[in-house]
Amino acid sequence: MTTLDALERWRTDGTITEAQHAALVPLVSRARTSLFAELNVLLYLGVLAFAGGLAWTASVYSDTWGDLAILLPATALLVGCFAWCARHVPPYAHTQVPAPGLVFDYVLYLGCLVFAVELGYLEYRFHLLQAQWDYYLLASSALYFIVAYRFDNRFVLSLGIATLGGWFGVRFSRFDLFVSETVRVTTLAYGVLVAGLGVGLHRAGIKPHFVETYLHVAANAALGALLSGVLVGASSGLWFPGLVIGCAAVIAAGTRCRRFAFVLYGVGYGYLGVSREVLRGINDFTLVLFYVVVSAGAVVVGLIILAQRFGREK
């Protein structure tokens, strides 16, 4: 029985209405295909390309045109973007607030990127903070967090979290507290910090729908740091037990909260780490190939079965 046959049977049995049947048939038969996601990606890429072009123009023509010719248009664009968004944004609420229109998110994101370009240009030309330039990252992150919460925008929130990670890495890499483990330990600490911040704000009832954005970044940062410790070096030390515990926790949380992406994170990072330990010291190519084929196939089949179970329970 095809899906179209099933729809017809459901319509006949009264499971779905005539209107629902009429709406579903074109989608199932692919007579009508939604391009919303693709257009969304293209528009965001267009904003990124525009900001990249602005940065390139500033770096190439600053000596020829002068600083004012670069800064005045950029500042006008920055002020215009934020002023337009401020005029159209609904009142603030701790709960989720829908965007006033499709263009709103792109204008807001463009304003944030222009701010980053202008800040970078100011330091490049005038060296205002010199060795303390990482405070630009901290200031940018603070602005992005404020904008994200005021305008209820997850994309800007992701930008703020990523910028905070940049400042965190630069700042802590100046200390010799962690010797050769600097990057991994710093990244792990950053992941824990981001997770704690997201969960804390969620429990406080401040934009609780933002918590997944925090946790996606935190899970990848923490598990990536642990996996790096397993993959690099002759022995994994404490990194492998830490990776197993971290992956198990992420998988358990994803299963409990019905979030399949976190299950994928735990399984993916865990599989790579376990494979590294299993294959450590094995130089037989045939044995390695056999292990990869069998284990990867088993993981894929298991994920498919689990995904189907998630779908049924929803």
Instruction: Give the chain's mean pLDDT.
Output: 85
Per the CB < 8 A criterion, the answer to whether 206 and 149 are in contact is yes
- Which pLDDT belongs to residue 85? 94
Q: Which run of H or of E encompasses 61?
A: helix 36-65
Query: Rounded to an integer, what distance in angstroms lies between the CA atom of residue 160 and that of residue 158?
Result: 5
Coil, helix or strand at residue 292: helix
Q: What pLDDT does residue 178 have?
A: 38
The model's pLDDT over 86-144, given as tens digits with 9 standing for 90+, comes to 999 999 999 998 888 778 989 999 999 999 999 989 888 888 877 777 888 888 999 99
pLDDT of 176 > 50? The answer is no
- Of 173, 176, 143, 135, which Cα lies nearest the Cα of 160? 143
Those residues whose C-beta lies under 8 Å from the C-beta of residue 275, and which sit 6 or more positions away, are 291, 292, 295
- Report the percent of the chain where pLDDT is more than 90: 47
Over residues 209-232, mean pLDDT: 92
Question: Tokens standing for 290?
Answer: 């056999």
Return the higher-pLDDT residue of 8 and 248: 248
Where are the domains positioned within the chain? 40-160, 175-280
Instruction: Note the pTM of the prediction, 2 decimals.
Output: 0.80
Residue corresponding to tokens 């202008």: 118
Distance, in Å, from the CA atom of 137 to the CA atom of 143, rounded to the nearest integer, reads 10
Provide the phi-psi class of 30: left if phi over 0, else alpha when psi is between -120 and 50, else beta.
left
pLDDT tens string 225-248: 899 888 886 566 789 999 999 999
Summarize pLDDT for 253-281 with one digit per residue, the tens. Answer: 999 988 999 999 999 999 999 999 999 88
